[in-house]
Amino acid sequence: MKIETLILIPARSGSKGIPDKNIKLLGGKPLIAWTAEILSKANLKASLAILSTDSEKYAKLGRDLGLLTPFIRPAEYAADDSSAVSVVLNALQWFETEYGYIPEQLLWLQPTSPFRSAEMILKAFTLLTKQQADAVVACKEIHRNLSTLFYQENGHLSALSKNTPIQTTRQQIKPLLTPNGALYLCNTAAFLKNKSFYPDQTIPLIMNTVMSLDIDSEEDWLLAEAYIKQGLVK
């Protein structure tokens, strides 16, 4: 069967905020396992899921979880300042060498967003097809007006936009959207053309607060544990 979707789960070993974050136990299982299990539930057809990692230890864990780890990511693509684009291009180079073609779609799933659901993953594919989009990006809502978002300039607050009055009533504000990091689905041709997950025809997939949690700090980790303890995670 021809592989239509290459699924990339990026998990480098050099996390400084939370050492070995991607394999640390959350709710009794390694962080990577949350994404591996959701992928299994989504049961995507004609897809190949690989763990892109710079660590043999992480690679072994990935294999134990049912993920392919066909290569170890070179050090130049695993530094603090390495871009997601470079990691994708590295994986696509491997894929084309291995299979002789490139997949139609790319799905980027960061382990640090453990609470996205299988339903949301499937919905992303439905949106991409039905709306003939180039990409779908998971987002969360921010109920703020630009006039209530500020820079700090010379020690003072300076609004991003001074064209509208400051509004504080939730009902009056059209929500802003910001990527939550949980999911990026992109047509490969559009990705290669733009070198970005945000080509022109990109549509949002809005997720709730729990699904939108991106674990980047110890405080985020504690919040994730609290969500699990309170039964907010399915």
- Tokens 């390694």 locate to 30
Is residue 165 over pLDDT 70?
no
Amino acid symbol at 151: Y
Cβ atoms of residues 88 and 45 within 8 Å = no
Per-residue pLDDT reduced to its tens digit, 19-39: 899 999 999 999 999 999 999
- Is residue 159 assigned to a domain? no
Range(s) of the domain holding residue 114: 5-139+177-229
**Domains contained in the chain, number:** 1
- Is residue 127 assigned to a domain? yes
- Is residue 234 assigned to a domain? no
Eight-class DSSP state of 102: -
Per-residue pLDDT reduced to its tens digit, 80-108: 778 999 999 999 999 999 999 999 999 99
Per-residue pLDDT reduced to its tens digit, 120-137: 999 999 999 999 999 999
- Is residue 207 assigned to a domain? yes
- In terms of DSSP bridges, do strands 150-153 and 176-187 run parallel, antiparallel, or are they unpaired? unpaired
pTM: 0.91
Per-residue pLDDT reduced to its tens digit, 171-186: 667 788 999 999 999 9
Q: How far is CA 116 from CA 4, 82, 109, 138, 171, in A?
A: 22, 24, 9, 9, 27
- Is residue 149 assigned to a domain? no
- Is residue 161 assigned to a domain? no
- Is residue 165 assigned to a domain? no
Per-residue pLDDT reduced to its tens digit, 43-82: 999 999 999 999 999 999 999 999 999 999 988 888 777 8
CATH of the domain at 125: 3.90.550.10
- Is residue 60 assigned to a domain? yes
Cα separation, 92 vs 85, whole angstroms:
10
Cβ atoms of residues 215 and 114 within 8 Å = yes
